[in-house]
Amino acid sequence: MPSIASSLIVQFKNCRLVRGGTIVKDDLWVRGGRIVNPEPVFFDEKVQADLTVDCYDALICPGFIDIQINGGYGYDFSSDLDKLEEGMSTVAKGILATGVTSFCPTIVTSPTSVYHEVLPKLKRTPGGKEGAGILGIHLEGPFISPEKKGAHPPEFIQKIEGVNKVYDIYGNLDNVGLITIAPELPGALEVIHHLTAKGIKVSVGHSNGNLEDGEAAVNKGASFITHLFNAMLPFHHRDPGLVGLLTSQHINRPVHYGIIADGIHTHPAALRIAHRTHPKGVVLVTDAMAAMGLGEGHHYIGQMEVLVKGQKAQLVGTDTLAGAIVTMDNCVRRFIKGAGVTVVEAIEAATLHPAQVMGVDHLKGTLDFGSDADFLLLSDKGPLKVLNTFISGQCVYAAPEAPSISYRDPSGKKFSHK
């Protein structure tokens, strides 16, 4: 089906919307790639919808946003440099079926040469029929704790030593949206302040730091915790570590925190504890690596070889988890079941909250008037299932079992997209 002209007003009918923290029975109106308020259309412009779509009682929610994804479908963003464009295209296209409309390609701890080669190439891009949009690169390392390195190669971990060192390692930061730093490292606070002043979001993670280290980082501008509970000191009643940021009274802003709800990285009880402690802060991330979308076998995350068995990815010869192979739609389903949250709460953890982290919630993560028309048609008759993915009001994915998307003009003429 050809693209719907941006000047046309499209009315999605017979649907329910995730809007304002609840599910409402209403229509969704789209024009020019944005969600519009129908009242001015009726009363000021005195026009009707150019096209209508019957959604067959589907649930419509904002498109999912994944701010930590290392690769997928056989490609790794940190190591497959000769196939970087091909890999990025494959992943961006593939995750449309999982409901992801925007993402942050994540580069793990790597040699300096990798940063200098990759960072200029991964530009922010709008999404479309070719794949999900890029909100900015997530740099997970190399300024992390060697004691909490996880699957990061120790030989490439760096000390901070000031702002100049950061630029020496990374090179140009124009395409970077988020950086994970261990806050206890000497020089970290100065760097966090500098980066956040430039508009780059900073997360604390892969850290051996205590709660005071985390609080100091947040007060310098950090606003996120990378995969809570993983690669950090465990919660202790005398020093709760970075986990304590969820309830700290000594920080100048609330923090968000990433959760990998794959049934492996985070126990359902831990999901419940985190959510019930700070429900407005939870952000579902996949932390997916190259094996996402593939079967068992040997794969890579950055410079490290990984063996996938069942649903678990581990560094070869160790029991260290090396990213995940879960998809975002599966994370949402697991979060509903494991944490006992509502459908709306789970959806907001994959939409509104990551948009807030990246500072784009005025455009993405909601169905508010004026937001980008990036949204999903979901079946909630049983397990939540992505039926259709829309970006800028255009259908970019349809599940095989999804009803045909049929557009009707005022004369009744119909054409479909399957």
* H or E element, residue 62: strand 51-62
User: How many C-beta atoms lie closer than 10 Å to residue 404's C-beta?
Assistant: 13
Q: Select which of 66, 213, 262, 287 is catalytic.
A: 287
User: How many C-beta atoms lie closer than 10 Å to residue 245's C-beta?
Assistant: 25
Which one, of 22, 68, 128, lies nearest residue 357 by Cα? 68
Around 224, how many Cα atoms within 13 Å sit in the side-chain half-sphere? 29
| Single-letter amino acid, residue 54 | D
What the block records as the tokens of 330 is 């599966």
Which one, of 95, 142, 89, 151, lies nearest residue 114 by Cα? 142
Annotated binding residue 250: no
Instruction: Identify the three-state secondary structure at position 151.
Output: coil
Annotated binding residue 190: no
374 is catalytic: no
What the block records as the tokens of 311 is 């649903």
| Residues contacting residue 170 through CB under 8 Å, at least 6 positions apart | 115, 116, 119, 139, 176
Annotated binding residue 321: yes
* H or E element, residue 168: helix 163-170
> In this structure, are residues 386 and 99 in contact, taking their beta carbons and an 8 Å threshold?
yes
> In this structure, are residues 393 and 126 in contact, taking their beta carbons and an 8 Å threshold?
no
Annotated binding residue 230: yes
Which one, of 294, 297, 308, 255, lies nearest residue 277 by Cα? 255
Annotated binding residue 140: yes
Instruction: Please say whether the dihedral angle defined by the alpha carbons of residues 95, 297, 115 and 139, taken in this order, is positive or negative.
Output: positive
Which one, of 323, 334, 403, 258, lies nearest residue 98 by Cα? 334
Annotated binding residue 278: no
Largest Cα span, the chain: 70
What the block records as the tokens of 5 is 């002209």
Q: How far is residue 218's CA from residue 379's CA, in Å, rounded to a whole number?
A: 39
What the block records as the tokens of 165 is 């060192």
Annotated binding residue 362: no
Which one, of 14, 18, 17, lies nearest residue 346 by Cα? 18
Which are the catalytic amino acids? 287
Q: Which residues are annotated as a binding site for substrate?
A: 151, 230-231, 238, 265, 321-323
Q: Which residues are annotated as a binding site?
A: 140, 151, 206, 227, 230-231, 238, 265, 321-323
Q: Which residues are annotated as a binding site for Zn(2+)?
A: 140, 206, 227
